């Protein structure tokens, strides 16, 4: 965050008491707003009985059962069968035995998480690549109907996702892209490219044209000037844009739940349907949620200087 330049004796500098009260209230809000997230993190390390105890437990003995349940599927067995088995191999098997179960196989969490990674990075690379080119085109050249084209690009992102999903569902069924990673990558690219163009146009607008013109007078072609002068100058903007695209694709749920069911399913539609015996296995859900959210929290901290710009399509820059 930018901090204003104020002198110690400025007439508008708030009094110390005012600052303390303001700070206290903001910190109170920040702490309250973190409670649900902290609770997710705590629940991930509870045993299933601890997670649903009344009153809710703040102090408990940490357990990895949630993570074990997230990564494995288990089945209930009779005591005679369990006694006939050799001693458990590994922590998850031991935890399962304590609940009269055996680990049957690995769960689908890892493949779903992997799908999320592939689709998010694939669509981000494409969107940022296409977006950088288009943004440069819109920033530097006279394009007929420029404002209309830019508005059109922006408006595609505002369409209700379910309305877009109906024809995409039919189209993908016709051309064999249903439930494929490629189909999801193309769809997310189309959604993200609008953000990428708008954000990157703002970043490229800020690079003085004189840099390229100087390079071209020195004998560079326009394309060389773009590659060797503009791209390095825009690197921070491109990185910030990429993280925004990554976060969108990572978080997306509506298209994922309607258009994927198996091979290409990402983590967001998968995590809510993790169930154990007799309903949702909350420690496992919390463990999956924690693993899913951590990268975003890290990215948010990295991005904080560019957040404002990203969420307003580059309209507000400071």
Partner 1 sequence: MPPALSVRVRGLSDRAIAWIFIAPTMVLLLAINIFPLIWTIRLSFTNYRANRPNAPVRDVGLQHYQDILTNPDVWAALQVTARFVIASIVLQTILGFLLAWLIDKKFRGHGFWTTVILIPMMLSPAVVGNFWTFLFQPQIGLFNYVVGFFTGIPPSSFQMLGDVQLSPWAIVLVDTWMWTPYVMLICLAGLRAIPENIYEAAEVDRASKWRQFWTITLPMAAPFIMLAVLFRGIENFRMFDMVNLLTGGGPGSTTEVASITLKREAFEKWRTGYSSAFAIILFVTVFGLANIYVKALNRVKNR
* Contact residue for partner 1 among 64, 102, 125, 308 (CB under 8 A): 308
Q: Counting contacts by CB under 8 A, is residue 169 touching partner 1?
A: yes
At its nearest, how many Å lie between partner 1 and the CB of residue 95? 21
Q: Taking the CA atoms of 302, 308, 311 and 315 in sequence, report the sign of the dihedral they define.
A: negative
Number of residues that bind partner 1 (CB under 8 A): 115
Q: Counting contacts by CB under 8 A, is residue 60 touching partner 1?
A: no
At its nearest, how many Å lie between partner 1 and the CB of residue 26? 5
At its nearest, how many Å lie between partner 1 and the CB of residue 78? 30
Q: Counting contacts by CB under 8 A, is residue 155 touching partner 1?
A: yes
Q: Counting contacts by CB under 8 A, is residue 167 touching partner 1?
A: yes
CA distance 283 to 5: 48
* Contact residue for partner 1 among 64, 102, 125, 143 (CB under 8 A): 143
Q: Counting contacts by CB under 8 A, is residue 185 touching partner 1?
A: no
CA-angle at 67, arms to 64 and 69, nearest 5°? 105
Q: Counting contacts by CB under 8 A, is residue 265 touching partner 1?
A: no
Distances (CA, A) of 237 to 6, 71, 140, 211: 29, 37, 17, 17
Q: Counting contacts by CB under 8 A, is residue 151 touching partner 1?
A: yes
Distances (CA, A) of 292 to 6, 67, 256: 41, 13, 15
* Contact residue for partner 1 among 102, 130, 182, 231 (CB under 8 A): 130
CA distance 226 to 75: 60
At its nearest, how many Å lie between partner 1 and the CB of residue 241? 14
* Contact residue for partner 1 among 10, 75, 236, 261 (CB under 8 A): 10
- When the beta carbons of 3 and 89 are compared against partner 1, the nearer one is 3
* Contact residue for partner 1 among 201, 250, 264, 284 (CB under 8 A): 250
Q: Counting contacts by CB under 8 A, is residue 9 touching partner 1?
A: no
Helical segments of the chain, H only: 16-44, 48-51, 65-71, 79-84, 91-98, 109-140, 146-157, 161-175, 181-205, 209-217, 222-225, 231-233, 235-251, 254-259, 267-270, 282-303, 307-311
CA distance 217 to 149: 31
- When the beta carbons of 68 and 136 are compared against partner 1, the nearer one is 136
Q: Counting contacts by CB under 8 A, is residue 37 touching partner 1?
A: yes
């Amino acid at each position: 965050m930018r901090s204003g330049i104020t002198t110690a004796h400025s007439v508008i500098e708030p009094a110390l008491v005012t600052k303390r009260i303001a700070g206290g209230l903001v910190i109170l809000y920040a702490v309250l707003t973190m409670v649900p997230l902290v609770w997710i993190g705590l629940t991930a390390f509870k045993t299933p009985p601890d997670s649903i105890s009344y009153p809710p437990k703040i102090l408990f003995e940490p357990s990895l059962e949630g993570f074990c349940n997230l990564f494995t599927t288990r089945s209930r067995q009779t005591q005679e069968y369990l006694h006939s088995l050799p001693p458990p191999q590994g922590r998850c098997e031991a935890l399962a035995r304590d609940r009269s179960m055996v680990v049957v196989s690995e769960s689908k969490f890892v493949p779903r998480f992997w799908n999320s990674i592939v689709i998010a990075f694939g669509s981000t690379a494409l969107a940022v690549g296409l977006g950088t080119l288009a943004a440069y085109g819109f920033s530097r050249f006279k394009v007929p109907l420029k404002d209309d084209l830019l508005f059109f690009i922006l408006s595609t992102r505002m369409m209700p996702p379910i309305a877009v999903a109906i024809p995409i569902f039919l189209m993908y069924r016709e051309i064999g892209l249903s439930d494929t990673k490629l189909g999801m990558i193309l769809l997310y690219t189309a959604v993200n490219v609008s953000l990428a163009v708008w954000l990157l146009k703002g970043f490229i607008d800020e690079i003085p044209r004189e840099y390229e013109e100087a390079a071209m007078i020195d004998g560079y072609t326009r394309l060389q000037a773009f590659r060797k002068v503009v791209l390095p100058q825009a690197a921070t903007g491109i990185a910030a844009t990429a993280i925004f695209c990554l976060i969108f694709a990572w978080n997306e749920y509506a298209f994922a739940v309607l258009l994927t069911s198996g091979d290409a399913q990402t983590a967001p539609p998968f995590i809510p349907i993790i169930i154990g015996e007799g309903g949702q296995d909350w420690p496992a859900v919390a463990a999956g949620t924690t693993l899913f959210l951590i990268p975003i929290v890290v990215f948010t901290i990295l991005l904080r200087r560019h957040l404002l710009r990203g969420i307003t399509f580059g309209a507000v820059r400071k």
